């Protein structure tokens, strides 16, 4: 190898290492032929309050001064708003069951439309796929193929450095600090969502944890900061139940901590972070990237963190409320039953107890809340918005995938419809297996329907036509037994263990079939154009829009 070639190789390798070691911001970064100015994001929302101000200016948030109770009434209001794509709401006069007014307002339905989810990411709805392209690049970036391409990446290094969060010494989230006997969860307007539930439920907690080796040199990469959303049943003034499922990051930290430590696991609960941080917690972030770093990607600006007062963790400095404390290694309590996204009450199960050591908050804090129930609810809207984020991630591994849809009616993730460019017999089955295994978000997807690229996966009429005309109920069904299933799925034969069903609704190729396959009906282009031109002269009702794709 000559010296010039060797130098080129070293530069390419170092550039690639730089991009892998840091993380690149901005939409559509899988392509490097765009100037930096074109991939910059708008000014970020540094706090939930910034986002509220913007929503109010654009008539996407309404303030309500009428007395409202967090016991059931808020849920009923939200269900009606969600059904009609209504605004976010700030309840300014929240009254408890004892008739006393809470000292803080409650914000609900924040992400009740895809438009507001995209706005929280500093994007328009049509730009959400660019977020997925960013994630796909970070998950498995391709090295530069030439010296010229390597040099084209170098300017991105300036943006790269903005992604790692920075620590500040003073923070709005610690303007008020409550410890000892001053800790009292009953002072927060925590929502009771459905009749018959045992206690108020914290529904929008961003739970911050670290594993046992997080601060050790050469520690387990799985032990870095994790930001997860796990609902919390209130047990008393300073206790709540941490309901996290075994596969989730916080639960895995807890399990590893239990093996190596005797003291309880430190945890911090963030209530009302900036929208970028909230949405980072619900996005399929690569394992090599922390949610705080991804929030920086969405914001185009470093996330500011502050050290907690009583636990060795860092939390977003501009958050509204922080609950600090420890998750017990041996104290468990029965959780539930609570209404869930399935539209049913979940069964009672035991989960570890979280004991508070401090509550810190801003002056005049805002309490962020939501509910889960049969769609539409906020989780189903978030799932709908994240559809376009998932597509580039799936296409990275399976370029033949054209589109992907998680119907909200399928509880956000239990049913998936995939369109593809089919190239060979058995291809649809390969895509089914890929959906179930590539991203852990789809581990609990029970039904995968695969269609050809001429079918609109987001149109049930189109999908049903493909199923009824391109499927045989015996030949084109794939069943898988004893697979991981959502613990909330009471229809499965065992808790957490059940089956999966794949439906191949694609056109069949030999040897999938030995019969002559049908040819689709289609009108001649000349006739379509003629009718388009003459429609108004026919004097017929309707728009006259052509049906052909």
How far is it, in rounded angstroms, from Cα 417 to Cα 457? Answer: 6
Residue 8, number of CB atoms within 10 A of its CB? 16
Look up 340 and say whether it is catalytic. yes
Q: Considering only CA atoms, which of 120, 42, 470, 496 is closest in space to residue 277? A: 120
Residue 531, number of CB atoms within 10 A of its CB? 13
HEC sequence for 125-167 = HHHHHHHHHHHHHHHCCCCCCCHHHHHHHCCHHHHHCCCCCEE
CB 272 within 8 A of CB 366: yes
Residue 319, number of CB atoms within 10 A of its CB? 30
- Tokens linked to 188: 């927060």
Residue 59, number of CB atoms within 10 A of its CB? 8
- Tokens linked to 252: 């895995």
Query: What distance lies between CA 332 and its chain's CA centroid?
Result: 28
DSSP state of 518: P
CB 431 within 8 A of CB 450: yes
Helical spans, DSSP H, in 210-353: 249-260, 275-280, 291-299
DSSP state of 410: G
Q: Are strands 321-335 and 349-361 parallel, antiparallel or unpaired?
A: antiparallel
Strand, coil or helix: what is 473? coil
Of 340, 388, 476, 486, which one is the catalytic site residue?
A: 340
Cβ burial, residue 91 (10 Å; 0-12/13-18/19+): buried
Q: Considering only CA atoms, which of 110, 135, 114 is closest in space to residue 124? A: 114
How far is it, in rounded angstroms, from Cα 453 to Cα 471? Answer: 16
- Tokens linked to 349: 């199960």
CB 281 within 8 A of CB 215: no
Which residues does 527 contact at the CB level (< 8 Å), separation at least 6?
Answer: none
How far is it, in rounded angstroms, from Cα 455 to Cα 94? Answer: 48
Q: Considering only CA atoms, which of 280, 250, 15 is closest in space to residue 134? A: 280
How far is it, in rounded angstroms, from Cα 455 to Cα 129? Answer: 20
Catalytic positions: 340
């Amino acid at each position: 190898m000559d010296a010039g070639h060797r130098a080129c190789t070293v530069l390419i390798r170092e550039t690639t290492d730089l991009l892998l070691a840091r993380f690149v911001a901005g939409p559509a970064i899988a392509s490097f032929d765009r100037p930096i100015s074109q991939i910059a994001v708008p000014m970020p929302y540094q706090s939930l309050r910034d986002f509220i101000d913007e929503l109010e200016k654009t008539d996407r948030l309404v303030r309500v001064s009428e007395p409202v109770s967090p016991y059931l009434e808020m849920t009923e209001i939200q269900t009606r708003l969600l059904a009609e794509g209504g605004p976010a709401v700030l309840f300014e006069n929240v009254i408890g069951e004892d008739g006393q007014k809470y000292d803080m307002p409650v914000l609900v339905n924040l992400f009740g439309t895809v438009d507001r989810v995209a706005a929280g990411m500093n994007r328009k709805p049509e730009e959400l796929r660019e977020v997925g392209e960013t994630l796909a690049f970070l998950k498995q970036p391709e090295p530069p193929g030439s010296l010229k391409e390597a040099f084209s990446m170098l300017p991105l290094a300036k943006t790269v450095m903005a992604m790692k969060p920075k620590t500040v010494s003073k923070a709005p989230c610690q303007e008020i600090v409550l410890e000892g006997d001053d800790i009292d969860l009953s002072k927060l307007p925590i929502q009771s969502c459905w009749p018959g539930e045992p206690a108020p439920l914290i529904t929008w907690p961003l739970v911050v944890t670290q594993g046992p080796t997080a601060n050790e040199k050469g520690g387990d990469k799985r032990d870095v900061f994790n930001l997860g959303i796990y609902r919390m049943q209130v047990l008393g003034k300073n206790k709540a139940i941490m309901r996290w499922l075994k596969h989730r990051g916080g639960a895995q930290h807890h399990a590893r901590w239990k093996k190596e430590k005797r003291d309880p696991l430190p945890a911090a609960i963030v209530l009302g972070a900036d929208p970028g941080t909230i949405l980072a917690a619900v996005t399929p972030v690569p394992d090599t990237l922390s949610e705080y770093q991804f929030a920086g990607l969405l914001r185009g600006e470093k996330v500011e963190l502050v050290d907690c007062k009583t636990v060795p963790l860092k939390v977003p400095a501009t958050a509204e409320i922080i609950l600090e404390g420890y998750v017990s290694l041996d104290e468990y309590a029965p959780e539930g039953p609570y209404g869930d996204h399935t539209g049913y009450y979940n069964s009672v199960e035991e989960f570890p107890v979280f004991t508070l050591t401090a509550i810190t908050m801003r002056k005049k804090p805002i309490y962020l809340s939501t509910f889960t129930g049969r769609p539409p609810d906020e989780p189903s809207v978030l799932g709908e918005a994240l559809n376009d984020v998932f597509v580039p991630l799936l296409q990275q591994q399976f370029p033949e995938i054209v589109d992907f849809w998680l119907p909200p009616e399928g509880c956000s993730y239990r049913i998936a419809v995939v369109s593809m460019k089919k190239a060979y017999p058995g291809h649809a089955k390969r895509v089914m297996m890929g959906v179930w295994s590539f991203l852990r978000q789809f581990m609990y997807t029970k039904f995968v329907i695969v269609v050809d690229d001429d079918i609109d996966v987001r149109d049930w009429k189109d999908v049903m036509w493909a199923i009824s005309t391109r499927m045989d109920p015996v030949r084109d069904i794939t069943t898988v037994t004893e697979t991981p299933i959502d613990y909330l799925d009471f229809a499965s034969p065992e808790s957490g263990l059940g089956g999966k069903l794949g439906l191949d609704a694609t056109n069949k190729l030999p040897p999938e079939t030995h019969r002559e396959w049908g040819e689709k009906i289609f009108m001649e282009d000349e006739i379509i154009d003629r009718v388009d031109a003459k429609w108004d002269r026919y004097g017929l009702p309707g728009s006259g829009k052509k049906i052909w794709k």
